[in-house]
Structure 1
Amino acid sequence: MKYFLLLAKRHKKYLKEKKIFRNSTISFYNFWEIEDYNNFWLQKFIVDRNLNPKNKSINFFSVFGPRYVLKKQKAAINIFFSGETMSRFKKYHDYCLPEVDLALGFDDLQHEKYFRLPLWILDFFEPTVDLEKAKEKLKQLNYYKNNKPIVREKFCSLIARHDENGIRKKIVNTLNPIETVDCAGKLFNNTARLQTEFANNKVKFLENYKFNICPENTNQESYTTEKLFESFAAGCIPIYWGSAQKPEPNIFKPSSIIFFDEFKNTLSEDVERLHKDPKLYLDFISQNPFQDTAAEYIIQTISNLELKLKEIINQA
């Protein structure tokens, strides 16, 4: 019954999207809820960079809806995008490469119709970003570039809705004997301060804590989300699991992250040592978490995306 209700809900969503984009040059199907499509990153990237001067029809597809939509809605250019891991959306495991002109995602795939575009670029960098703006944004995301390092009073936080793989529970149970972990999300909730004092502003909430537990939902190579960026923006030491323990090596310095290894677990000792030694803690958080060439890597990625889209649009 639940399966049929879900199908009905997704078909209803498709009909709504079909109506919204009836007369649009750029259309979006099977995406998450987007308040303003005109300001959505993918649309602004094409419009602001004038990549479609002849106004050819472009359809973007994602994973939050039925795959048959790709066959029902055809345009001059058809592009698939997912910021999610395909382990959660198995019917899209092939990034719809047989059906589209271009696929965008976080995986490192070698395919002429695929381009790696992790979701965190859309989350943190404007479509018109240049090198100087990218450097400035990384500076903003590095709390201690803008604030004096201090030893914070509160110990450790977790903001999460679920724990499908059990990793969050293992980390919390490992650290609770040192001091109680404040869990501000639906999972293991024991504080309402995120809502009552910080109006659900995650970064402002995290600015009160020494450590932030921020594992990915799956430990898949190259799958890195916004979690590390949020920790560094708040000045927390991230306690991380995921991305095959190599999150965005062109962006982050591993020395600025505490990794949780469930098979070789030294997490309790590592965290307790930093928690109880103010000098050691200050030395750790004073590191620049970003690689020296991180901004250049981001701009190169965005420039290559521009070239790829130009090529596909011009050929259509």
Structure 2
Amino acid sequence: MKKATIVVSAPYMGNRLFDLGNKSLNRDDCLRAFFLLKEEFKLKGYDLSTQDVNSEIESEVVIYNEMPKDFSNVVKEKSYLLIFESDIIRPDNWDLRKHDQFKKIFTWNDDYVDNVKYFKMNFPNTFHYTNPEKCLREKFAALISGNKTSRHERELYSERLKTIHWFEKNHSYDFDYYGFGWDQYNFGSQVIGKILKKLGAYKFLPKRTTCSYKGLVDSKFETLRRYQFNICYENGYDITGYITEKIFDALFAGCIPIYWGAQNIRAFVPENCFIDRRVFSTNEALYLHLKSLKYESILKYQENILAYLKSEEAKFFSSEYFAKNLSKKILCLKS
């Protein structure tokens, strides 16, 4: 069998990238797309493994999961780049000089896709379906994300924080939020935070407690099924095609997304399936709108969501499509 490799960060090496039984890494089945990708390569006569199992040098196909730090083993004619993170998280992903080192690049960014050098790749998801319900849910609104900061001009971390503060001050009984880092002090600097984490200093700081913070979640799907609305902001706004798992986490759970992110979201997800946060000038205006929605309106949203998830348009965001499309494109382009 021919060898292919995918270059990943340390936690995913040792083929842990494909291990669906690893509960710490495969949260909400996020590794299924790569498991299926490995299976698709196998059907085509390739053993796809991480770089510590199949080295870059001995592999006929090399896939880089995000921009590599080390280019010493990059051979352009057999190297393919997957870009998942935006420049808010990984500015090096968008260094065009580095793009020249790869034969082809796969990205969600519609501004780049030309089907010559750059090919469309959406964030993959394991689909779930939730039937419309006969009554309103027990809880009102939730937000699930990590506590992060950024100085990027298009970041939305600060808007998440503003939303949390507004709800806690005005309507805490209608709002819960989850995720890592919210019970730790945020010093407004990623550098300081990384230093404190490396030194193990966080354990000596008192925990932050707020009335709406509910800790971590084992399953976003099971958690969101209890809520009517999910506040799901991307890490950044007005980035073309940047549609991550956040809105789909809500859709799968039949939880109405309050979305802020990709400027062209309506080209991929029908506007009758989510509430566009950009329409509202304040959190208060948003809250009043949500409170005004009657059961019939909620039911209609849920029906629209289910219809969309079962449509042909939605399949482009599935793990199955990711694996089949990526393997086909890479191996066809290789030949």
**TM-score > 0.5, shorter chain as reference:** yes
Q: Is the 8 A contact 1:29 1:60 kept in 2?
A: yes
* 1:281 paired residue among 280, 285, 298: 298
Q: 123, 129, 144: which one pairs with 1:142?
A: 129
Q: Which of the pair has the greater relative contact order for Cα pairs under 8 Å at 6+ separation?
A: 2
Whole-Å Cα distance in 1 between the matches of residues 322 and 5 of structure 2? 24
The one-letter code of the counterpart of 2:109 is: D
Q: Distance in 1 between matches of 2:91 and 2:243?
A: 19
- Give the CA deviation at 1:280: 3.2
| Preserved contact between residue 277 and residue 286 of structure 2 (Cα < 8 Å) | yes
Point out where structure 1 has 5 or more consecutive residues left out of the alignment: 1-23, 125-136
Q: Distance in 2 between matches of 1:255 and 1:41?
A: 33
Deviation at 1:228, TM superposition (A): 1.2
- Which residue in 1 is equivalent to 2:275? 258
Please point out which of 45, 50, 53 is paired with 2:44. Answer: 50
> Is the contact between residue 231 and residue 259 of structure 2 (CA under 8 Å) also seen in structure 1?
yes
Distance 1:85 1:64 in 2: 11
Q: Given residue 211 of structure 1, which amino acid in structure 2 is its aligned partner? A: F
CA distance in 1, matches of 2:76, 2:312: 38
Q: Aligned-pair distance for 1:107?
A: 0.7
- Change in Cα spacing, 1:310 to 1:102, as seen in structure 2 (3 Å) is same
1:249/1:33 CA distance change after superposition, 3 Å: farther
Report the alpha carbon displacement of residue 306 of structure 1 after superposing the two structures with TM. 4.5
Whether 2:54 is the aligned partner of 1:36: answer no
Q: Find the counterpart in structure 2 of residue 27 from structure 1.
A: 5
Identity across matched positions, percent: 19
Aligned ranges 1:84-103 → 2 under 5 Å: 84-94=85-95, 96-103=98-105
Give the Cα–Cα distance (whole angstroms) in 2 for the partners of residues 27 and 102 of structure 1. 15
Where 2:85 maps in the other structure, the secondary structure is coil
Q: CA deviation at 1:75?
A: 7.6
Q: Structure 2 unaligned runs (5+)?
A: 20-33, 48-57, 150-155, 184-209
Following TM superposition, by how much is the alpha carbon of 1:305 offset from its aligned partner in structure 2, in angstroms?
4.0
Correspondence for 2:225: 207
Cα distance, 1:295–1:215 mapped onto 2, change above 3 Å: closer
Q: Are 2:82 and 2:107, in contact at CA under 8 Å, matched by a contact in 1?
A: yes
Partners of 2:118 and 2:332 in 1: how far apart? 13
Aligned residues: 263
The 5 Å alignment of 1:81-120 reads 81-94=82-95, 96-108=98-110, 109-111=112-114, 112-119=116-123
Correspondence for 2:23: none
CA contact (8 A) 1:61 1:80 kept: yes
Distance 1:83 1:248, change over 3 A: farther
Alpha-carbon deviation of 1:29? 2.5
Contact preservation (8 Å) 1:79, 1:100: yes
**Aligned residue runs from structure 1 range 1-316, under 5 A:** 25-31=3-9, 33-34=11-12, 36-37=16-17, 40-41=34-35, 43-44=37-38, 46-50=40-44, 52=46, 57-63=60-66, 66=69, 69-74=70-75, 77-94=78-95, 96-108=98-110, 109-111=112-114, 112-119=116-123, 121=124, 123-124=125-126, 137=127, 141-144=128-131, 148-164=133-149, 165=156, 166-176=158-168, 177-178=170-171, 179-185=173-179, 186-187=181-182, 190=211, 195=216, 200-219=218-237, 220-244=239-263, 246-247=264-265, 249-250=267-268, 252-261=269-278, 264-265=281-282, 266-274=285-293, 277-288=294-305, 290=308, 292-295=311-314, 297=316, 305-314=326-335
Q: 1:58 to 1:38 in 2, by over 3 A?
A: farther
Query: Using the alignment, how far apart are the partners of 1:305 and 1:74 within structure 2?
Result: 19
- Report the RMSD for the aligned CA atoms in angstroms: 3.4
Cα distance change of structure 1 residues 297 and 80 upon mapping to structure 2, 3 Å threshold:
closer
TM-score w.r.t. the length of structure 2 is 0.66
Partner of 2:188: none
Change (3 A) 1:308 1:28: closer
> Within 2, Cα distance between the matches of 1:247 and 1:32?
33
Does the 8 A contact of 2:67 with 2:83 survive in 1? no
